[in-house]
């Protein structure tokens, strides 16, 4: 571990070691979207700081709902992972508060500028179209190259995507289409894509395994999960739509009025270190890490290598914008017969 990081964590941990500290100060409670990553950090963080980390695994929007419901008496100290939009929402509602970590100088300046102080960036992750070529060939469906291709009736019953009411992945898809096509044309595209959906899943990556196993031909998910599973042998291909794609900048946020703010800061500092980000990759989280000193995932691209759009994180992270777009999808798209 780098001396400066060790020093920063030691300072955070020192307050926790006082004999008069309450029992709650020896535990950091995290609402965590990336379960495998949080599990990987649990023991190393305890060994470095003497602070025990406990976490509850929820999907991104479910995490926001939980933190919002507990606003008057929070039980969590840190909101960890998931798409950035709910982190913007949480910050806008005062559910989380800014924190300037001593690790900020090691983080991608592009990611820091994009989130504009609302939260601290953890990783970036582009949206991709993931296909099983054998399924498409058997169905006589072409390889999709664009977002518009996904409305082709040849894909009917072959596609899977998450539900934006539970998944930040799906909201990122909606926000991406709105930014590329404009809202009205985007919702026409979503209606056409809906006709081809076999299922909407609770989690963002829920359609990946069915696609790899031949139950579906197309999944619309974040790229990192597909990279990992392709490396493991899943017979899939990854396509970036020709119009470009959106991406998330996942966050880590300090919950306002949490029971253990000092321990929370120590955990955030550790989580942003290259050491902790490398542990995430080893645990199977193959996103593009925010710490520039972290090792890239095997075969993983740089963000500069991908045709990402100029995603407006602040606007589409606004609570009113997010709530309105999800409500419109729920009211106008999901009830359509298919």
Between the CA of residue 189 and those of 174, 180, 192, 337, what are the distances in Å? Answer: 10, 11, 5, 15
3-124+249-300 matches 125-246+319-333 in fold? yes
Query: What six digits make up the tokens of 206?
Result: 């829920």
**Nearest CA among 231, 207, 214 for reference residue 284:** 231
Query: What are the start-end ranges of the E strands in the chain?
Result: 27-32, 52-57, 78-80, 96-97, 120-131, 159-162, 197-201, 218-222, 237-239, 247-255, 288-289
* Per-residue pLDDT tens digits for 322-338: 899 999 999 999 999 99
Class of the CATH-defined domain 3-124+249-300 = alpha beta
Position 319 scores a pLDDT of 80
Domain ranges within the chain, ordered by starting residue: 3-124+249-300, 125-246+319-333
First to last CA, the chain: 54
**Rounded CA separation 90/21 (Å):** 29
Q: How far apart are CA 296 and CA 286, in angstroms?
A: 8
Identify which of 115, 119, 105 has the alpha carbon closest to the alpha carbon of residue 291. 105
Q: Is the separation of the CB atoms in 64 and 90 below 8 Å?
A: yes
82-86, 172-176, 232-236, 238-242: the lowest-pLDDT one = 82-86
- Taking alpha carbons only, the member of 263, 332, 255, 313 closest to residue 121 is 313
Please provide the CATH number assigned to the domain covering 125-246+319-333: 3.40.190.10
User: For 50, which DSSP code?
Assistant: S
Mean pLDDT score, 88-105: 95
Tokens of 93: 């509602």
| pLDDT (average), residues 34-59 | 95
Which string of b and e fits 103-127 if b means at least 16 CB within 10 Å? beebbbeebbebbeebbbbbbbbbb
Q: What is the pLDDT of residues 17-43, one digit of tens each?
A: 433 344 456 999 999 999 999 999 999
Residue 1: its pLDDT value, please?
A: 59
Whole-number Å distance between alpha carbons of 34 and 60: 9
Q: How many residues does the chain have?
A: 338
pLDDT value of residue 119 = 96
Q: 193 falls in which pLDDT band (50, 70, 90)?
A: very high
């Amino acid at each position: 571990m780098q001396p400066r990081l060790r020093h920063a964590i030691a300072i955070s941990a020192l307050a926790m070691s006082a004999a008069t500290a309450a029992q709650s100060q020896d535990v950091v409670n995290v609402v965590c979207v990336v379960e495998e990553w949080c599990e990987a950090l649990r023991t190393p963080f305890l060994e470095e700081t003497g602070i025990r980390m406990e976490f509850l695994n929820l999907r991104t929007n479910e995490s926001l709902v939980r933190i919002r419901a507990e606003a008057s008496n929070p039980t969590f100290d840190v909101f960890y992972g998931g798409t950035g939009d709910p982190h913007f929402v949480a910050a806008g509602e005062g559910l989380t508060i800014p924190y300037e970590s001593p690790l900020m100088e090691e983080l991608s300046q592009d990611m820091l500028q994009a989130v504009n102080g609302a939260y601290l960036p953890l990783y970036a992750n582009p949206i991709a179209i993931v296909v099983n070529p054998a399924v498409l060939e058997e169905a006589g469906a072409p390889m999709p190259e664009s977002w518009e291709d996904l409305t082709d009736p040849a894909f009917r019953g072959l596609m899977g995507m998450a539900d934006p009411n539970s998944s930040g992945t799906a909201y990122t898809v909606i926000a991406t289409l709105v930014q590329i096509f404009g809202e009205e044309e985007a919702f026409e595209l979503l209606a056409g894509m809906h006709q081809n959906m076999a299922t909407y899943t609770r989690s963002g990556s829920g359609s990946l395994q069915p696609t790899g196993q031949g139950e579906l031909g197309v999944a619309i998910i974040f790229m990192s999960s597909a990279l990992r599973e392709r490396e493991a042998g899943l017979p899939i291909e990854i396509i970036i739509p020709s119009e470009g794609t959106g991406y998330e900048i996942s966050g880590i946020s300090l919950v306002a009025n949490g029971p253990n703010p000092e321990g929370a800061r120590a955990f955030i500092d550790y989580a942003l270190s290259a050491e902790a980000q490398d542990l995430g990759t080893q645990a199977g989280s193959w996103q593009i890490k925010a710490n520039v000193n972290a090792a890239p995932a095997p075969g993983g691209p740089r963000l500069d290598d991908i045709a990402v759009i100029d995603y407006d994180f602040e606007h589409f992270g606004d609570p009113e914008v997010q709530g309105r777009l999800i409500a419109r999808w729920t009211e106008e798209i999901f009830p359509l017969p298919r």
